[in-house]
Amino acid sequence: MISNKYFWYVLMSGALVLWAFAIALIYLFPEWDYKAVLFIGLIILHGVEIPYVLTILRKDVSTVTIAIKTFLFGFTWWLPVKKGILQG
């Protein structure tokens, strides 16, 4: 199952839904003081992953692609690329 590329596509779709949910919280609950916690957490988490992914995928995938896809999808993108399940 984990070696199935569609499994990873579903997880990547879930990552995009999580981003959309984090952004929607900001607009749906303007009175909530902690409305951006999830959004900021995603930015920090995915931003921290980028240097690591650069070290493992730089020779196979462009730096810009690594930065964008890691920021959007996190490990759900780079792990299957590293394992050869998906192409960068």
pLDDT in the model for residue 31: 84
CA angle 33, 36, 39 (to 5 degrees): 165
Kindly indicate the confidence band of residue 18, based on its pLDDT and cuts at 50, 70 and 90. Answer: very high
CB-based contacts of 5: which residues, under 8 Å, 6+ apart? 80, 85, 86
Kindly indicate the confidence band of residue 38, based on its pLDDT and cuts at 50, 70 and 90. Answer: confident
pLDDT in the model for residue 37: 87
pTM, 2 dp? 0.86
DSSP state of 34: T
For residue 32, which amino acid is it?
A: W
The first and second tokens of residue 59, run together, are 């020779």
pLDDT in the model for residue 30: 81
Kindly indicate the confidence band of residue 27, based on its pLDDT and cuts at 50, 70 and 90. Answer: confident
